[in-house]
Amino acid sequence: MKISQDRVIGWVLLAVAFSALSSLALITTFIFKEGVPIILKQGVGNFLFSNDWYPGEGKFGILAMIVGSLFVTLGAMFIGAIFGFGCAIVLTQFCPRRLVSIIKPAIELLAGIPSVVYGSIGVVILVPFIRDYLGGPGLSVLAASIVLGIMVLPTVTSISVDALQAVPRAYREGSIALGATQWQTTWMVVLKAARSGLVAAFILGMGRAVGETMAVIMVAGNTLEIPLGLTSPVRTLTSNIALEMGYASGAHRQALFATGVVLFVIIMVLNTIALAVSHSKAAGGRR
Amino acid sequence: MSEPQLQSDPPAGQQGLLPKIAIRNFSARFGQSQVLTGINLEVHACERLAIIGPASSGKTTLLRSLNRLNDLNATFAHDGEILLDGQDIYGDSMDVPTLRRRVGMVYAVPIPLPWSIYDNIAYGLRLAGIKGRSEISVRVESSLRNAVLWDEIKDRLRMPAMNLSGGQQQRLCMARVLALEPEVLVLDEPCSGLDPISTAKIEQALAELKDRYSVVLVTNNTKQAARASDRTAFFLMGELVEVGLTGQVFTAPRHERTGQYITGHFG
Amino acid sequence: MRISPANTQRIMVVALWTLAAMTVFTLLFILGYVLYHGLPHVTWSFLTESPRRMGKEGGIFPMIVGTAMVAGLAVLIAGPIGVATAIYLTEYTREGKITAIIRFGADCLAGIPSIIFGLFGFVFFVITLGMGLSVMAGALTLAIMVLPTIIRTSEEAIRAVPRSFSDVSMGLGATRWQTVTRVVLRSASPGIVTGIVLSIGRCISETAALMLTAGSALRMPHSALDSCRTLALHFYTLMREGISPAHAWATASVLIVVILLINLVAYWLMRRFVARTV
């Protein structure tokens, strides 16, 4: 009977459809299995809040990297949000169609450029500039923030554009009809209506910034000290893993996996917030 | 499987034959909402049955039950049975794709698939396992002739079907079904979106086909029912109010509501 | 002093356009810089020779082959799985708990940074499954990484196909599977292919995950179990270790040209898709 053939296909597809979820489960299991024991051995507090990273002596404290990731991410989001939201507003509110078809692919292309290219451009352009005009070694929080800011811009823009486009036309027309300027309408009506989508865009952008590795390695300087200012060099959680994984073994390697565990948890928290925010939007009104 | 019973008022000449379709105490619902209640209706070989009634009276649901297209909606549930040549179409032994080939359906809105005219018709034939190119070509042509479309498009078979006019698209949809040589042709308000000329062509096609198929025609247009059917059934709120020879239903309806609907007092 | 609404409008319009212009300028600057410094060094022999002296001399042919193998294999694995998942979500089930769980899995996977994929690929494919640093380990890791993108784009493409097409097809006696393969996928294919093409782009750009899974061998990979160095990683190594800036930028411009082509193809496909469904 043909229908039962369809049912069999349905089961097969269901099994395949679970591969994303099972990959996620596998990843979680393996990262935690490799990383958690050493965290417990060091003590959670010691691991997270001590600044002694001496793999040779078996001392693993990642405070400097946590602070480093935090600084760099905040800096990146400052730039990424201004530019990302700015571009999204221009694209959806102010831009004639003809220009949209130039700016939008340009931003999508920005997302396609390899992170090592961003890093290299940062090294040859940005780093000398900062060293010459702002002091310090040039490899710095600031350089990493600017490079990352540009890299998260496409993420922030594309999600924000979706959110802004979902705002019913009638809201905007109603506001304009009441005598508001285009900017007043955007600021008071459109952005407000799209708020949850914009928050989701910001948080997902933040996830990208926390997780980016190669570009940061190239421009951040990677020292193991807690950064004191914008021009101080800095090491992030991601660069810690990528820099040392090549030669690490034993407890050292486990500690790098433990760094991965911390990163993983941060990303999952951010993702969950973003998902919750964008779902509450979906519940609030039909798309 | 129960033996179908003789029905009460068959048209002349059909007495004693097994009905093509026998609907027995059939009820249907989507989730919580009851759409059809206790329908008993028969369709005979080579007769044209019109189903009329106001909006949401369950006509379309009944039609889509005849080829189990409602199964695509997961909330659909039914009671009672529908027999095609005495076999329960909801029974385990019924092969649904075969059923849908035997009971061909034309929708209210013409839905050509986004391919050429030729491929639209050949699709169903290929599904049915017909592989020979020449046979497919022959059946494409004959079905287009039967749907009164051939003369208009015979030189443009490779043209995208989307480029046809609405009336032509609907006749293409009819040809697509006819190519499968179904036993029953069910049409769901096939002319609702069409101009009078296209409507006339579809009715012409139906008239030419009446010796070969049983036709079930759902229509909002009472005049069309009067023109293009042998018997007429009147549905209201998911129930069958009355069924009889078209002439009798239109001139001497047994129920007050039928008369009111036909004369345009509601609906 | 209060600024009048009309003036705020003017200021904001100028400010926003400046931001957008700066963004586009940044893109053009990056492309221009890489191509200006790199293209003059891209010669036929650079593309077809093996590197000598760690890449200071010679070409990048093994890296081109390695990149193509890793990206190709990754998409070959993730493509069918992603499209099948999308088919399940759209055609074979109703929205409910199961679809919510599957979507949650894909959404979470999409947010995981590539270095975590690298760690996972290293401990799972390279060590636990004993593949070693290899094309295969890299490709499998990338396959998981791009899976969510392929699922999402395929799902959107399939949803854009009118439901009535399925009705018609089933009404003509097609099984659900026949309907999916002959009607739905056929109409959705430009959208699905766009997603796959963009995934290839992502695989080609990826560095962090591959560093830990595919390795950095300069040799030509002869099988899927050989280690290989992709273009992006080669560029990174040349740049970071200061081996040869000229060869580094030349490698980057090959990378950028490929990415440009991929985006052009995706853009063209998407326009065709939109034109056809509207």
Q: Tokens 């380990």 correspond to what residue?
A: C137
Q: Which of residues 2-21 of A touch B (CB under 8 A)?
A: 2-3
CB contact under 8 A, C172 and B127: yes
Cβ–Cβ < 8 Å for A189, A171: yes
What 3 state SS string does B182-239 have? CCEEEEECCCCCCCHHHHHHHHHHHHHHCCCCEEEEECCCHHHHHHCCCEEEEEECCE
Residue A16: inside a domain: no
B6 in a structural domain: no
Answer whether residue A175 is part of any domain: yes
pLDDT of residue B12: 46
**Total domains present in chain A:** 1
- Which residue from B100, B104, B180 is facing C170, i.e. has the nearest CB? B100
Mean pLDDT of A202-220: 94
Q: Is B92 buried (19+), middle (13-18) or exposed (0-12) by CB count in 10 A?
A: exposed
Mean pLDDT, residues B189-194 taken together: 85
Segment C52-61, tens digit of pLDDT: 887 778 889 9
B56 within a domain of the structure (yes/no): yes
Name the amino acid, one letter, at A129. F
Domain of residue A248: give its range.
Answer: 26-284
Task: Give me the residue from C165, C173, C187 closest to B128, CB to CB.
Answer: C173
Beta-sheet pairing, B231-236 with B48-52: parallel
Q: How far apart are CA A276 and CA C93, in angstroms?
A: 24
A14–C88 CB contact, under 8 Å: yes
A235: left (phi over 0), alpha (psi -120 to 50) or beta: beta
**β-pairing, C57-58 with B87-88?**
unpaired
- How does strand C51-52 pair with strand B239-245? unpaired
Show the 3-state SS of chain C: CCCCHHHHHHHHHHHHHHHHHHHHHHHHHHHHHHHHHHHHHCCHHHHHCCEEHHHCEECCHHHHHHHHHHHHHHHHHHHHHHHHHHHHHHHCCCCCHHHHHHHHHHHHHHHCCHHHHHHHHHHHHHHHCCCCCCHHHHHHHHHHHHHHHHHHHHHHHHHCCCHHHHHHHHHCCCCHHHHHHHHHHHHHHHHHHHHHHHHHHHHHHCCHHHHHHCCCCCCCCCCCCCCCCCHHHHHHHHHHCCCCHHHHHHHHHHHHHHHHHHHHHHHHHHHHHHHHHC
Question: What is the mean pLDDT of the segment spanning C126-137?
Answer: 94
pLDDT tens readout for residues B79-118:
999 999 888 999 888 888 899 999 999 988 899 999 999 9
Question: What mean pLDDT do residues A11-18 have?
Answer: 93
B96 CB neighbours in chain A (<8 A) are 2-3
ipTM of the complex, rounded to two decimals: 0.91
Contact between B97 and A2 using a beta-carbon 8 Å cutoff = yes
Give pLDDT, residue A19: 94
Mapped onto helix, strand or coil, the DSSP state of residue A3 is helix
B166 lies within 8 A of chain A by CB: no
Residue A234 lies in a domain: yes
Residue A168 has a pLDDT of 87
For B81, which DSSP code? E
Taking residues A237-256, what's their average pLDDT? 91
Classify residue B40 as exposed, middle or buried by CB count within 10 Å of its CB (0-12, 13-18, 19+): middle
For residues B26 and B239, what is the distance between their CA atoms, to the nearest angstrom? 10
**Nearest to residue C28, comparing CAs of A167, B119, A113?**
A113
- For the stretch A26-45, pLDDT in tens is 999 999 999 999 999 988 99
Does B67 reach chain C within 8 Å, measured CB to CB?
Answer: yes
Give the integer Cα–Cα distance in Å for A210 and C41.
35
Report d(CA C99, CA B80) in Å as an integer. 33
> What is the pLDDT at residue B267?
60
A246 Cβ contact partners less than 8 Å away, ≥ 6 residues apart? C211
pLDDT in the model for residue B8: 45
Minimal Cα–Cα distance from C230 to chain A, Å?
A: 12
Contact A112 C259 (CB under 8 A): yes
Which residues does A93 contact at the CB level (< 8 Å), separation at least 6? A164, A182, A186, A190
> What pLDDT digit, counting tens, does each position of C157-177 carry?
999 999 899 999 999 999 899
**Which residue range forms the structural domain that includes residue B136?**
21-262
Q: Is residue A163 part of a domain?
A: yes
Residue B5 lies in a domain: no
Q: Is C215 on the interface with A (CB under 8 A)?
A: no
Rounded to whole angstroms, the maximal C-alpha distance in chain A is 78
Q: Mind listing the pLDDT tens digit for each residue in A147-195?
A: 999 999 999 999 999 899 888 888 888 888 888 888 888 888 888 889 9
Write out the H or E segment, with its range, that includes residue B165: none
Residue of A nearest to B92 (CA): A1
Amino acid A131: pLDDT: 92
**Residue C10 within a domain:** no
- Of the pLDDT bands very low, low, confident and very high (cuts 50, 70, 90), residue A56 is confident
Q: Which residue of A has its CA nearest to B94?
A: A1
**CA of A50 to nearest chain C CA: how many angstroms apart?**
23
Instruction: Characterize A39-60 residue by residue with b for buried, 16 or more Cβ atoms within 10 angstroms of its Cβ, and e for exposed.
Output: beebeeeebeebeebebeeeeb
- pLDDT, one tens digit per residue, over A128-137 is 999 999 988 8
| Minimum CA–CA partner of B113 in chain C | C165
CATH for B46: 3.40.50.300
pLDDT tens for each residue of C176-198: 999 999 999 999 998 999 999 99
Does B72 map to a domain? yes
Cβ within 8 Å, pair A20-C26 = no
**Overall number of domains in chain B:** 1
- Residue B119, classed as helix, strand or coil, is helix
Domains identified in chain C, total number: 1
pLDDT at position A99 is: 87
How do residues C232-267 score in pLDDT, each as one tens digit?
999 999 998 888 888 999 999 999 999 999 999 888
Question: Quick one: pLDDT at residue C1?
Answer: 60
Subunits close to B (at least 3 CB pairs below 8 A): A, C
* Residue pLDDT, tens place only, B151-163: 988 899 999 999 9
Report the distance separating Cα B37 and Cα A243, nearest Å.
Answer: 73
Q: Is A271 on the interface with C (CB under 8 A)?
A: yes
In a domain, B8, yes or no: no
Size of interface B-C (CB pairs under 8 A): 54
Give the pLDDT score at C219: 86
CB A201 within 8 A of CB A155: yes
- Name residues 184-243 of chain A within 8 A of B (Cβ): none
Residue C245 is part of a domain; what is its CATH number?
1.10.3720.10
Task: Enumerate residues 6+ apart whose C-beta is below 8 A from A186.
Answer: A89, A93, C12
Domain span holding position C60:
44-277
Six-digit token string for B222? 């009472």
Give mean pLDDT, residues A228-243.
92
Parallel/antiparallel/unpaired status of strands B33-43 and B21-30: antiparallel
Q: For residue C111, is pLDDT > 50?
A: yes
Residue found under tokens 């009336």: B167
What CATH number is associated with residue A47?
A: 1.10.3720.10
Spatial strand order of the sheet with B231-236 comes to B103-106, B184-188, B214-218, B48-52, B231-236, B239-245
B11 in a domain, yes or no? no
Longest dimension (CA), chain B: 55
